[in-house]
């Protein structure tokens, strides 16, 4: 008996877990069961089988419950993670629906987007789930510069859609990845090894710019790619080429304008801001190589066909094709505002603003001491406002919208009433107009 009592005290001092209770200092403390105390039930082997990797290459699979199947979707709870340098990975999992993700392996892609998928475990082993790797084939992409003094450092930075798989040539390829990479050199070439895909790039050298523009694009499609980078000093004189804009549709002698932004030293940047105005049918600007954006100025009474008021063009060692601008004369239609309720001879005002401006017209303000105000407006959407006058206000009819579309819209009725809040009501009431 003393020996048993001593053993009991030892267990009390140390603390003992019995089922879902803790025995400590002679007290039984109840607690809820945890995942450590609860068995997930029987498990079954799920086998993943890879092909395509060289012998001894590590690869990995992560598994989690499918959304809605319970387990909170965590990769650990009711799921698992396995890695192997053999052709198979086996995970022991209880019944349920699962999703899996095969981690990228450097230099390889996964056929038919096989990097992920789903499977079920239902009272038996599952698999093998086939995972097919393919080696990523890369091709040489060479940037060759000219124009820099010997030994000058220059840079290339790229972004591209580099496909499924791991990394190749030191670049961080990932599943459906859009990644970036860069390199510098003080020789005339910079070389990358890239898989098939579409790419954009930027080049830079202190005090110099690429005369083709600082940005470019290229595709790798089963072969090597060569890209020339002709640098020129930012302070050197630059040849220019004539860019011609030609209009049609304007009445003879009508002025029109062109504004151009962009070009050398910046993609649509501020290196060149040019503009011109003419009453001739053509307008010519002398611009160096680069990428440009242009805006055609509004001409009152005209619109520009097919939204051709803006656009882009490139200058690259020669004059680009003539840019055509087609103006269309806007036909005006009568818009009538008719008021009631004002005393005879009282002055009132209508303000109209084009919601979608045509012909460069700004806000239109018109006043009258008669019962109507008429405006000539071209096709478009408009808003109007009628402010209070002489102690009268138009209430809900003081604002609104209307459209002009190939004809005069219905007369817009404005109803004035004496302002109930007092203010500027005349001392001697005047007879209101009918």
* Collapsed DSSP state (helix, strand, coil) of residue 91: strand
Q: Token match 């086939």: residue? A: 130
pLDDT of residue 154: 94
Instruction: Give percent of the chain with pLDDT exceeding 70.
Output: 75
Q: Which residue in this structure is represented by tokens 């859009």? A: 178
Q: In the predicted model, is pLDDT for residue 28 greater than 60?
A: no
What pLDDT score was predicted for residue 68? 62
Mean pLDDT of 397-413: 92
Mean per-residue pLDDT of the chain: 78
- Span 315-332, average pLDDT: 90
Number of other residues whose CB lies within 10 A of the CB of residue 347: 11
DSSP per residue, 96-137? EEEEEEEPP-TTEEEGGGTTEEEEEESSS-EEEEEEEEEEPP
Architecture of domain 43-135: Sandwich (2.60)
Distance CA 405, CA 386 (A): 23
Q: How confident is the model at residue 69 (pLDDT cuts 50, 70, 90)?
A: low
pLDDT exceeds cutoff 80 at 136: yes
- Give the pLDDT score at 274: 77
Tell me the β-bridge partners of 294: 260, 311
pTM: 0.42
DSSP string computed for 229-264: EEEEETTS----EEEEEEEESSPTT--EEEEEEE-T
Cβ proximity of 367 and 346 under 8 Å: no
With 60 as the cut, is the pLDDT of residue 34 above it? no
What is the structure's pLDDT at 39? 52
Tell me the mean pLDDT in the region 318-335. Answer: 92
pLDDT tier at 180, thresholds 50, 70, 90: low
Residues of the chain with CATH 2.60.40.10: 43-135, 139-233, 241-329
Q: Which fold has domain 139-233?
A: Immunoglobulin-like (2.60.40)
Asked if residue 354 lies in contact with residue 382, where contact means CB atoms within 8 angstroms, the answer is: yes
Q: Name the strand (E) or helix (H) holding 2.
A: helix 2-14
Model pLDDT, residue 6: 40
Q: Does the pLDDT at position 301 exceed 50? A: yes
Examine the pLDDT at 359 and tell me if it is beyond 50.
no
Query: b/e per residue, 315-328, with b = 16+ CB within 10 A?
Result: beeeeeeebebebe
Please give the residue that has the higher pLDDT: either 124 or 263: 124
* pLDDT tens track for 73-113: 444 445 688 899 999 999 989 998 999 989 888 888 887 66
- How far is it, in rounded angstroms, from Cα 332 to Cα 404? 9
Report which of residues 227 and 80 the model is more confident about: 227
Class (C level, CATH) for 241-329: mainly beta
Q: At the topology level of CATH, where does 333-418 sit?
A: Immunoglobulin-like (2.60.40)
Average pLDDT value for residue range 198-219: 85
Percent helix, strand and coil across the chain, each rounded to 5?
A: 5, 50, 40
* % of the chain residues with pLDDT over 90: 43
What letter would DSSP give residue 432?
A: B
As given in the structure block, the two tokens for residue 115 are 């990097």
Is 50 exceeded by the pLDDT of residue 428?
A: no
């Amino acid at each position: 008996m003393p020996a048993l009592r001593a053993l009991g005290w030892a267990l009390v001092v140390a603390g003992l877990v019995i089922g879902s209770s803790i025995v400590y200092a002679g007290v039984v403390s109840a607690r809820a069961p945890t995942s450590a105390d609860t068995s997930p039930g029987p498990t079954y082997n799920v086998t993943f089988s890879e092909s395509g990797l060289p012998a001894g290459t590590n690869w990995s699979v992560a598994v989690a419950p499918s959304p809605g199947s319970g387990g909170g979707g965590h990769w650990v709870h009711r799921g698992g993670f396995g890695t192997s340098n053999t052709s198979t990975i086996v995970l022991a999992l209880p019944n349920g629906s699962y999703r899996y993700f095969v981690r990228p392996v450097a230099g390889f892609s996964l056929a038919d987007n096989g990097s992920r998928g789903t499977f079920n475990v239902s009272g038996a082993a599952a698999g093998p789930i086939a995972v097919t790797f393919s080696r990523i084939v890369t091709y040489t992409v060479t940037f060759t510069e000219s124009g820099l003094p010997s030994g000058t450092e220059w840079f290339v930075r790229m972004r591209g859609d580099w496909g499924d798989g791991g990394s190749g040539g030191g670049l961080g390829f990932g599943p459906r990845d859009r990644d970036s990479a860069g390199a510098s050199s003080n020789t005339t070439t910079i070389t990358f090894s890239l898989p098939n895909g579409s790419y954009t790039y930027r080049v830079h050298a202190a005090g110099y710019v690429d005369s083709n523009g600082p940005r470019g694009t290229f595709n790798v499609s089963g072969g090597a790619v060569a890209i020339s980078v002709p640098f020129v000093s930012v302070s050197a004189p630059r040849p220019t080429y004539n860019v011609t804009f030609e209009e049609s549709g304007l009445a003879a002698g009508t002025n029109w304008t062109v504004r151009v932004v962009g070009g050398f030293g910046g993609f649509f940047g501020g290196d060149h801001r040019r503009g011109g105005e003419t009453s001739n049918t053509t307008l010519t600007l002398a611009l160096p190589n680069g990428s440009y954006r242009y805006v055609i100025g509004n001409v009152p009474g005209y619109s520009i066909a097919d939204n051709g008021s803006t656009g882009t063009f490139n200058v690259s060692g020669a004059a680009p094709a003539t840019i055509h601008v087609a103006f269309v004369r806007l036909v005006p239609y009568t818009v009538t505002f008719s008021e009631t309720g004002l005393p005879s001879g009282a002055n009132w005002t209508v303000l109209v603003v084009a919601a979608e401006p045509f012909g460069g017209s700004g806000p239109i303000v018109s006043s009258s001491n008669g019962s109507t105000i008429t405006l000539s407006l071209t096709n478009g959407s408009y808003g109007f406002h009628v402010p209070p006058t002489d102690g009268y206000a138009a209430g809900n009819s003081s604002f609104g919208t209307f459209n002009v579309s190939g004809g005069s819209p219905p007369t817009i009725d404005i109803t004035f009433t004496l302002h109930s809040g007092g203010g500027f009501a005349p001392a001697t009431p005047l007879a209101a107009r009918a």
